[in-house]
């Protein structure tokens, strides 16, 4: 016990430190590139006396950055796509192979180029996977810890989020809410240590600046909580629109541009053209986010234009292959939409309000929580960043109503939609998803009775009786399964009849890709001794007894319950 506590604590500190330092280095590298490439507002102001250079950089940097990203993804990443939070979720939930270190580093490089060149993508997705990358490396060590990989991945993710937002509690909850999907003391303790480590490194050692500062006293009028709820519902609709645009953009990119590596360059060129007139859409947009809470910083028309452009261009960049997250754009679109909502309300309902800040923050968190499926995390981010109880309660109302609607419209999150497209569906719970990811071939038995089609009924019947079996698999000389015979079906048949004439041709069949969940579904109404499992070319590999399917289900469910409920 002492060994496990000591080792898991050291692992949490080590992973938390690595994840935090990597997150800081990544963010600083993005800022450096933004300044050097004239993407950041500060750099553009500094070069204001060179309008030609600024215009050229605005147009060319995103396009050339997109070309580099496309080449990195195509030739350096084995999966041919950017690695993101869904990959971290999958690695934490299943015991299968994960993307290699080379792919992870190449994906991080692609994300750095994407963000550095001004693409409309986010930094928190790459940071989450970067933290998961260090966790996955720690998970491979022989430390003799139960559920070592999933806990180590959660530690890396918690440290990255804690560092990025200066919000250790939010990092802790995000790791459990989005990555692990459960709470247990075995995971809770080390993930807490990792989140605290990330906070100490970011806030105490490096004194990182907070995401934003707001000045808000309290909600002045009780009826405004109805308006917060309405804002949450509108943000859910905006999240649904974003998902629709993202799907359309992905399909359009694949249909219109045959070369995958060229798609990000096209998206970058579009971003550059739009940015010539609307530079606020470039990059992460932290400066724009901070100005959104300042009264009169933007007009109503300007806010509407930026929200529309940012929404469309984020969908374009992600769909066309830029590597980055959706959390940062969701925060920016949400806060701008919330500010727009707060500015329009007095014209529609002329009653007193508590100011622009609360509506901007409510919009930011409502939209972000709908996109990433982490309502508790976003509520805690508000509280840890502002230390304002009234503002947190207001955001909580918007977040709750947003998630109630968005869950029914698009599912729990964009991450879950991505995983569902890969065949890992968490919408019906962890049990079904994990049962769907485990293959029934792991429970294959090679002890069974076979027969050739030319064998007689008498010979097969005697063999079944001698081997105490109720059915035989009929295979040809190449081992290809041709049918099944059951003892009760040949008891009264003439002894000299070729068994091929009595074979059952329609029967339940598993293949190498059949999951435990699918096997359970296929066994509905099954009557027999075992189900044959064949290769892609039809060769019989073995059989799966009905008992083995039940055993597989019980073992996996027991493992899940143990993971979720064990104390240490």
| pLDDT of res. 422 | 84
| Banded pLDDT at 216 (limits 50, 70, 90) | confident
Structure tokens at 464: 């079944």
| pLDDT of res. 209 | 75
| Banded pLDDT at 94 (limits 50, 70, 90) | confident
Alpha carbon of 555 to those of 515, 558, 563: distances in Å?
A: 14, 5, 12
Structure tokens at 409: 């419209």
**What's the average model confidence in pLDDT over 411-435?**
82
Q: Which residue has the higher pLDDT, 565 or 412?
A: 412
Give the model confidence (pLDDT) of 325-357 as tens digits. Answer: 999 999 999 999 999 999 999 999 888 888 889
Q: Virtual CA dihedral for 336, 340, 341, 346, nearest 10 degrees?
A: 150
d(CA 561, CA 568): 14
Q: Are 271 and 313 in contact (CB under 8 A)?
A: yes
Alpha carbon of 200 to those of 196, 225, 415: distances in Å?
A: 6, 36, 29
| Banded pLDDT at 276 (limits 50, 70, 90) | very high
Please check the confidence at residue 568 and state whether its pLDDT lies above 60.
no
Please check the confidence at residue 565 and state whether its pLDDT lies above 60.
yes
Q: CB count, 10 Å around CB of 55? A: 14
| Banded pLDDT at 54 (limits 50, 70, 90) | very high
Residue linked to tokens 């005697």: 462
**Which domains can be identified in the chain, with CATH numbers?**
2-205 (1.10.3080.10), 224-421 (1.10.3080.10), 435-556 (3.10.580.10)
Structure tokens at 257: 């541009």
Residue among 16, 19, 318 nearest 193 (CA): 16
Instruction: Name the average pLDDT for the chain.
Output: 90
Alpha carbon of 419 to those of 414, 426, 514, 519: distances in Å?
A: 9, 8, 18, 21
| Banded pLDDT at 7 (limits 50, 70, 90) | confident
Q: Which residues of 203-234 are buried (b: 16+ CB within 10 A; e: fewer)?
A: beeeebeeebebebeebeeeebeebbbebbbb
Q: Virtual CA dihedral for 268, 238, 254, 103, nearest 10 degrees?
A: 70
d(CA 36, CA 193): 37
Q: Are 438 and 548 in contact (CB under 8 A)?
A: no
| pLDDT of res. 23 | 94
Structure tokens at 557: 């469910």
Give the model confidence (pLDDT) of 446-488 as tens digits. Answer: 899 999 988 988 898 888 888 888 899 999 988 999 999 888 8
């Amino acid at each position: 016990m002492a060994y496990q506590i000591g080792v898991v604590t050291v692992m949490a500190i080590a992973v938390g430190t690595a994840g935090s330092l990597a997150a800081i280095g990544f963010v600083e590298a993005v800022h450096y590139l933004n300044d050097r490439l004239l993407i950041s507002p500060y750099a553009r102001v500094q070069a204001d006396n060179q309008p030609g250079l600024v215009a050229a950089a605005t147009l060319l940097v995103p396009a050339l950055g997109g070309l580099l990203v496309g080449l990195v993804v195509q030739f350096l990443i084995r999966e041919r796509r950017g690695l993101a939070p869904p990959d971290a979720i999958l690695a934490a939930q299943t015991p299968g192979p994960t993307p290699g270190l080379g792919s992870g580093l190449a994906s991080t490089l692609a994300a750095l180029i994407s963000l550095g060149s001004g693409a409309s993508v986010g930094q928190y997705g790459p940071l989450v996977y970067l933290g998961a990358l260090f966790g996955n490396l720690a998970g491979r060590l022989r430390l003799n810890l139960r559920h070592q990989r999933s806990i180590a991945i959660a530690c890396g993710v918690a440290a990255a989020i804690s560092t990025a937002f200066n919000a250790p509690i939010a990092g802790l909850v995000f790791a459990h809410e989005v990555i692990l999907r459960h709470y247990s003391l075995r995971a809770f303790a080390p993930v807490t240590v990792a989140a605290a480590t990330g906070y100490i490194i970011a806030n105490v050692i490096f004194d990182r600046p907070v995401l934003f500062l707001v000045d808000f006293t309290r909600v002045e009028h009780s009826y405004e909580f109805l308006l917060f709820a309405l804002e949450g519902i509108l943000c859910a609709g905006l999240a649904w629109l974003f998902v629709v645009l993202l799907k359309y953009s992905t399909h359009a990119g694949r249909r219109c541009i045959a070369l995958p590596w060229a798609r990000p360059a096209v998206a970058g060129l579009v971003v550059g053209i739009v940015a010539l007139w609307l530079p606020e859409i470039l990059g992460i947009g932290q400066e724009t986010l901070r100005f959104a809470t300042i009264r009169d910083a933007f007009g109503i028309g300007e806010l509407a234009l930026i929200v529309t452009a940012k929404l469309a261009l984020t969908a374009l960049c992600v769909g066309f292959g830029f590597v980055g997250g959706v959390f940062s754009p969701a925060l920016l679109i949400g806060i701008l939409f919330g500010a727009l909502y707060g500015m329009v309300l007095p014209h529609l309902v002329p009653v007193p309000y508590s100011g622009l800040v609360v509506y901007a923050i409510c919009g930011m968190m409502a939209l972000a929580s709908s996109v990433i499926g982490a309502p508790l995390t976003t509520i805690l981010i508000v509280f840890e960043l502002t230390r304002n109880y009234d503002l947190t309660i207001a955001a909580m109302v918007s977040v709750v109503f947003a998630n109630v609607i968005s869950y029914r419209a698009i599912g729990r999150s964009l991450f879950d939609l991505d995983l569902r497209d890969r065949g890992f569906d968490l919408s019906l719970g962890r049990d079904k998803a994990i049962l769907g990811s485990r293959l029934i071939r792991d429970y294959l038995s090679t002890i069974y009775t076979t027969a050739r089609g030319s064998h007689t009924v008498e010979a097969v019947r005697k063999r079944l009786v001698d081997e105490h079996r109720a059915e035989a698999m009929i295979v040809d000389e190449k081992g290809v399964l041709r049918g099944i015979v059951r003892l009760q079906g040949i008891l009264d048949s003439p002894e000299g009849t070729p068994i091929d004439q009595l074979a059952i041709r329609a029967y339940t069949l598993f293949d190498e890709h059949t999951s435990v969940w699918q096997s359970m579904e296929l066994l509905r109404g099954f009557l027999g001794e075992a189900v044959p499992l064949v290769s892609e070319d039809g060769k019989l590999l073995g059989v799966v007894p009905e008992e083995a399917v039940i055993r597989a289900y019980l073992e996996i469910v027991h493992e899940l319950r143990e993971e979720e409920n064990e104390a240490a």
